Structure 1
Amino acid sequence: MDLIHTSILIRAAVLAVIIIWRSWQLVCRRGNPSSWAMVAVMMCLAAALVAEWFALGHPPSYAWVWLEHLLLMAAVYCLNLYFVVAVCRGQAALRAAIWTLIPLLVSAAAAAVFAGRVPAGTPPYELTAPGVVGFYLSVKLYLPIGFLTACGFCEYHARRAVGPLRAALAVTGTGLLLIALAEVATTVELAHVIAGSSTPPLLHLAAQVTIGAGIVLFLTGIVVPGVAHRRRAWRLRATHRDQYRRMTDLGNDLGRTFPQLPLRYHSGGGRNEREILHGIHDRHYRRFIEIRDGLVLLSPHLADLPGPPLPERTPDRIARDIAAALGEREHGAHARGPAQQVLTGNVYSEAGDVETIVELATAYTHWKRRAHV
């Protein structure tokens, strides 16, 4: 196996992994419909690699070369659909999808006509063979248009976006513009071939540098926001996992004392109940609600204990009183006072409630461990 075929296999394997991973994410989490267009982009690129593999076979076949470039053009079209779905709605999206499809169909039809004129066994990029230059010019008819259209949609979307998304879309649009300019430059190179003149070396260098810079900017605009989002998600997940662990002792003891506390979810809207019960964010929220409600149920016993009123007690004092109240409850003691909130401090948000509960649960765990020493 030569270097070219090895490169095709590696790129196809990478794309296959990305397609499977992204599709699984979208199926499980019901992602934005426009995200499926990006999956379609990667699927077209992977299929184009398969066509390229057969196009380089023995003998070479321009039918496979035509299919390869058709799939590449389809990938550019799907990229346009990604922005169309993100920007437009309803009939406007349908009209935009149709108008962007017309240049692709014209270019693909013209390329098919010229591919039929290429003699059998002609290798790809053999520009001296009949029909080859016309074939590549037909392909170049769509690619600059497709990239420029995608750039226009991207810039329009960027003007409506805010924050980091706006900057990311601006970088992506700049990359698409550079790729379109590089496609125009390669078209000019083909025009020099048709005219029988030599291609200026500076033009070829400019095309290579421009398309390289365009690809880097395009991938940066696409990848960096996603990486930043995943970092924030991982950080939140780590925080919730740590808080859930710290609330475990208090939550378990309250759950044993009040069996009615553990929440029971009913799967609805197509969401899997196992996913609900095992997701760290859902388990974190359930544990917080169970502790909050359990403390309300336990509050009459806490209020009967000697000491200052509940709102004036410190987390360490409440943690010690919770252990005493749970012991009284287990021995059948009955409280006389009404139920009341046990949260300490001035809390006006759910995030503040969570922090207070976590602080209280941590103090309870420390008190429980000291009591067993």
Structure 2
Amino acid sequence: MLLLIIAAAVVWRLYLWSRAPHDAPTRSVALCLLSAGLSYPVAMPGGTTGIDTVAGHGTAKLIQNVLLLLTVYFLMCFYLYSADGSAARRRAQWEAVVVSAVTVAIILAAVTVPHEDFAGSFSTADMTIPQIAFFYAGAGLYLMYALGAAGRWTARYARVSSRPHATGLWMTAIGLGAMAVACAVRAVFVTVRWSGGTVPDRLTAGVAFWLVASILLFVAGITYSASRSRITAIRLWLRRRRDHRRLSPLWQLLTDVYPENELRPASRRLWDRWRARGVHRRYHRRIVECRDGLVDISPYLVDEDGDADLLSLEPAELASRLRRAADTIRQGSPAPGQAVPLAVPKEDDREADVRQLIAVSEALRLTA
């Protein structure tokens, strides 16, 4: 499931890149996610076993680390192209030289030791072998540098942003900083083990847990604003679907006597009923149709009580008069007066207007 989510994110970002091929920040994000997405199946047990069986022990680990270096490099490029303007290209090229040098160095370190010595994980690798120690230390120090720089830039953006974006940015910055700290601590562990010392398993496991928690915080941070916006959009979608149904009694009565007020739908496709745009469009259309119908039917309510103020009527009384007016219209009687406002809220906003219409519609439903 996680692999499918990552794959969907990669495909979506590649699609956005295809629509804006010259947009450097979009390209950087797409390549960052692509590198991260490719590293995940390589790190899975099945992927690691398959690659190591074909190319030798440790090959999957090498590929995964190279992809991680590219991931943080493209993450840096996103910030560079977003903030530095004209200087971004030169800085990105310089950073490309740095990551290329680190990549070549760890590849040379990996291929100069027997495959059997390169097998295993960080906690079980023989760090007294200089090439293996250099492999882990070199990759870890570059990750520390790139993650730390990205975290610093994220914190800079967070200080000048407003909520909820600032909240997500601070979570991202803390996650990046915590990952950089974890990489630094692992580099210290490599130095200790290379010099012949030992690191307690509890410390190694603790740093591994710290790294996982940092990654989760980073992911939560970069998705916070979008997730919150999506939740808000879903809540609005649900509320408008519900309000659309609650307006049905009033809308049905008014369109029965004034069918010409029913607007032509923009789309008759089945899935348009569930799409957010289709739901919002039908919601607003129903409000307009109800308001047009109330204007047309209002002359038939004027003679109910002479000069009585129709705006002061309670929803139940107005609903009763609307039913009688509809019956009068069906009998073909002419309008006895002029159009007057009906069901106008005291507050001057759209939400109050909808609440007033729903109150009348609910009263019609209860008296059906």
1:50 to 16, 22, 41: 41
Distance in 2 (alpha carbons) for counterparts of 1:180 and 1:230: 30
The one-letter code matched in structure 2 to 1:214 is S
Q: 1:292-321 CA deviation, whole Å, 9 max, x = no partner?
A: 122112222233444523223222222112
Length-normalised TM-score, structure 1: 0.76
The one-letter code matched in structure 2 to 1:68 is Q
**Mean alpha-carbon deviation: is it higher for 240-249 or for 115-124?**
115-124
Give structure 2 stretches of 5+ with no counterpart: none
Q: 1:138-192 CA deviation, whole Å, 9 max, x = no partner?
A: 3224211221122112101211222343233223312211110110111122223
Distance in 2 (alpha carbons) for counterparts of 1:296 and 1:309: 15
Query: 1:111 Cα deviation (Å)?
Result: 2.4
Aligned equivalent of 2:101: 106
Give runs of aligned pairs for residues 96-245 of structure 1, distance below 5 A: 98=93, 101-120=96-115, 122-125=118-121, 126-127=125-126, 131-194=131-194, 196-201=195-200, 204=204, 207-208=207-208, 210-222=210-222, 228-245=228-245
Does 1:294 pair with 2:293? yes
Distance in 2 (alpha carbons) for counterparts of 1:356 and 1:22: 46
Aligned residues: 348
**Mean alpha-carbon deviation: is it higher for 170-179 or for 124-133?**
124-133
Q: Aligned in 2, Cα 1:70/1:22: closer, same or farther, shift over 3 Å? A: closer
**Mean alpha-carbon deviation: is it higher for 162-171 or for 281-290?**
162-171
Distance in 2 (alpha carbons) for counterparts of 1:210 and 1:301: 73
Q: Aligned in 2, Cα 1:89/1:198: closer, same or farther, shift over 3 Å? A: closer
Distance in 2 (alpha carbons) for counterparts of 1:247 and 1:26: 42
**Percent same amino acid among aligned pairs?**
25
Query: SS in structure 1 opposite 2:260?
Result: coil
Length-normalised TM-score, structure 2: 0.77
Aligned equivalent of 1:64: 60
Aligned equivalent of 1:282: 281
Query: 1:22 Cα deviation (Å)?
Result: 8.8
Aligned equivalent of 1:4: none
Q: 1:232-271 CA deviation, whole Å, 9 max, x = no partner?
A: 444333322322221012112322332332333558xxxx
Distance in 1 (alpha carbons) for counterparts of 2:234 and 2:294: 30
Distance in 2 (alpha carbons) for counterparts of 1:276 and 1:234: 11
Q: Aligned in 2, Cα 1:205/1:58: closer, same or farther, shift over 3 Å? A: closer
The one-letter code matched in structure 2 to 1:190 is V
Give structure 1 stretches of 5+ with no counterpart: 1-12
Query: SS in structure 2 opposite 1:148?
Result: helix
The one-letter code matched in structure 2 to 1:117 is T
Aligned equivalent of 1:5: none
Q: 1:314-361 CA deviation, whole Å, 9 max, x = no partner?
A: 222221121122222223222253333323342311111111111111
Aligned equivalent of 1:7: none
Query: SS in structure 2 opposite 1:161?
Result: coil
Q: Aligned in 2, Cα 1:82/1:317: closer, same or farther, shift over 3 Å? A: farther
Distance in 2 (alpha carbons) for counterparts of 1:26 and 1:320: 58
**Mean alpha-carbon deviation: is it higher for 128-137 or for 334-343?**
128-137
Is the 1:237–1:280 contact (alpha carbons within 8 Å) kept by the matching residues of 2? yes
Is the 2:345–2:352 contact (alpha carbons within 8 Å) kept by the matching residues of 1? no
